[in-house]
């Protein structure tokens, strides 16, 4: 599965001069956790997250004593608080690599780029939603892809907890390899294997 298979696209972006309040409104209205920041040519220059926006924004209550509290800034722009440069990956990136990058960098969202142009974004929530897909939906999508490739009535698809078992009416290693690759490209699939129907019938 590739980043393009689960990214949100088109993606809402902001610019460095966008006000922090406007950026917060976009995050709130759309349920996002981060927004890519682009320049006038739509090239990625940074990312602004919920954490960036709330840091030092709300003034401390003067009725209480606060130690080591950052002074609140009355008016800010995205450029004042964004992370730059931003980590990004291509639309063809393997989702396994993308997941590892999110975990290693301890970030919640990954901008997806084509060259330097932002074409989408993938969040941890997107990946969790894919993992939560129902097996019946996964089976339907795998079957559809295999029927396009090798015709209908040929394949039997069994899915349990995202693990796909494909039974083929024909004994063809090349087709099995392609079938496995097609299945692994379906959102929600965590593993896939193939078998020849004739062998299973003799067990």
pLDDT value for 198: 77
Give the whole-angstrom CA distance, residue 29 versus residue 13.
Answer: 14
Please state the length of the chain.
Answer: 203
pLDDT given at position 109: 93
Give pTM, 2 decimals.
0.73
Q: Which residues have CB under 8 Å from 71's CB, separation 6+?
A: 56, 59
Cα Rg for the chain, rounded, in angstroms? 23
Question: CATH fold of 135-201, please?
Answer: 3.30.1340
Q: E-strand spans in 50-99? A: 89-90
| Ranges for all domains in the chain classified under CATH 3.10.580.10 | 3-131
Task: Identify the pLDDT of residue 64.
Answer: 65
Please say whether the structural domain 3-131 has been given the CATH code 3.10.580.10. Answer: yes
Return residue ranges of the chain for CATH 3.30.1340.30: 135-201
From CA 156, how far away is CA 146, in angstroms rounded? 10
Buried (b) or exposed (e) across 33-59, using 16+ Cβ within 10 A?
Answer: ebbbbbeeeeebbbbbbbebbeeebee
B/e letters for 73-92, b = 16+ CB within 10 Å, e = fewer, are eeebbbbebbeeebebbebe
> One digit per residue, pLDDT tens: the chain, 203 residues?
899 988 989 899 999 999 999 999 999 998 888 999 999 988 999 999 998 888 766 666 666 665 555 555 555 899 999 998 889 999 999 998 999 999 998 888 999 999 889 999 999 999 999 889 999 999 999 999 999 998 888 999 999 999 999 999 999 999 999 999 999 999 999 999 999 987 655 44
d(CA 154, CA 170): 8
How far is it, in rounded angstroms, from Cα 185 to Cα 105? 25
């Amino acid at each position: 599965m590739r980043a393009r298979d689960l990214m949100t696209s088109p993606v809402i972006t902001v610019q460095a001069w966008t006000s922090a309040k406007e950026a917060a409104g976009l995050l709130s209205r759309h349920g996002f956790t981060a927004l890519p920041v682009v320049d006038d040519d739509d090239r990625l220059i940074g990312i602004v997250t919920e954490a960036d926006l709330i840091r030092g924004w709300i003034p401390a209550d003067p009725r209480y004593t606060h130690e080591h509290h950052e002074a609140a800034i009355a008016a800010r722009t995205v450029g004042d608080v964004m992370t730059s440069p931003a980590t990004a990956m291509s639309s063809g990136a393997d989702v396994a690599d993308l997941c590892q990058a999110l975990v290693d960098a301890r970030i919640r969202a990954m901008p997806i780029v084509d060259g330097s142009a932002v074409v989408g974004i993938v969040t941890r929530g997107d990946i969790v939603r894919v993992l939560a897909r129902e097996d019946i939906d996964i089976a339907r999508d795998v079957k559809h892809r295999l029927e396009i490739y090798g015709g209908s009535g040929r394949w039997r698809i069994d899915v349990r907890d995202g693990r796909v078992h494909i039974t083929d009416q024909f004994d063809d290693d090349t087709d099995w390899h392609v079938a496995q690759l097609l299945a692994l490209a379906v959102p929600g699939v965590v593993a896939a294997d193939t078998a020849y129907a004739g062998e299973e019938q003799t067990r």
